[in-house]
Amino acid sequence: MTTSSKRRWRLFQFLADFLADRFVLPSKRLLVAVLLGTPIAIIGFLLEIGYSTFFLYNGLLLIASILDWVTIPKRRDLSIRRILPEQTDIGQSVSIELELANNSGQSVSYSIVEDLPLTFEETGSITGVMEQPLTNIRFETRGKERGEYVFRWLYMRWHGKLGLWYRQSRFACEQTIKVYPDLSAVRGYLASLQESLIVDGKKIMRREKAGTEFHAIRDYVPDDDPRMINWSASARSRRLMTNQYRPEHGKVITILIDCGRLMGVELDNQTRLDRSLESALTLAAVALRQGDQVALLAYSHEIKTYIPPGRGLRHLHTLLEATYNLTSDFVEADPAKALEFLNRQQKRRSLVVLFSDMENYLVEDQLSNYLWRMRRSHLLLLLSLADPLLHEWSHIDTSNSSLAFTKAVAQRFQLDRRAFQQKMIGAGIQVLDVPADQLTLTVINTYLDIKSREAL
Q: Name the pLDDT band for 310 (thresholds 50, 70, 90).
A: very high
Which residues lie across from 381 on neighbouring strands?
A: 353, 430
Tell which residue, 328, 352, 339, 356, has the closest CA to residue 258. Answer: 356
Please measure the distance between the N-terminal and C-terminal CA atoms of the chain and give it in whole angstroms.
62
Q: Are 379 and 351 in contact (CB under 8 A)?
A: yes
**Angle of helix 335-345 relative to helix 367-374, nearest 10 degrees?**
20
Q: Are 176 and 167 in contact (CB under 8 A)?
A: no
Question: pTM for the full model?
Answer: 0.75
Average pLDDT over residues 310-320: 90
pLDDT of 307 strictly over 90: yes
Note the pLDDT tens digit of each residue in 194-252: 444 555 555 554 444 455 566 678 888 877 778 888 888 888 888 888 887 665 567 89
Which 3 state secondary structure label does DSSP give 311? coil
pLDDT of 5 strictly over 70: no
Domains of the chain: 75-180 (2.60.40.10), 213-246 (no CATH), 248-453 (3.40.50.410)
Note the pLDDT tens digit of each residue in 72-121: 888 888 889 999 999 998 888 999 999 999 888 888 888 898 888 888 98
Q: 166, exposed or middle or buried, with CB in 10 Å at 0-12, 13-18, 19+?
A: buried
Summary mean pLDDT of the chain: 82
Phi, psi angle pair for 59, to nearest 5°: -65, -45
pLDDT of 52 strictly over 60: yes
Average pLDDT over residues 406-428: 82
**What proportion of the chain, given as a percentage, has pLDDT over 70?**
87
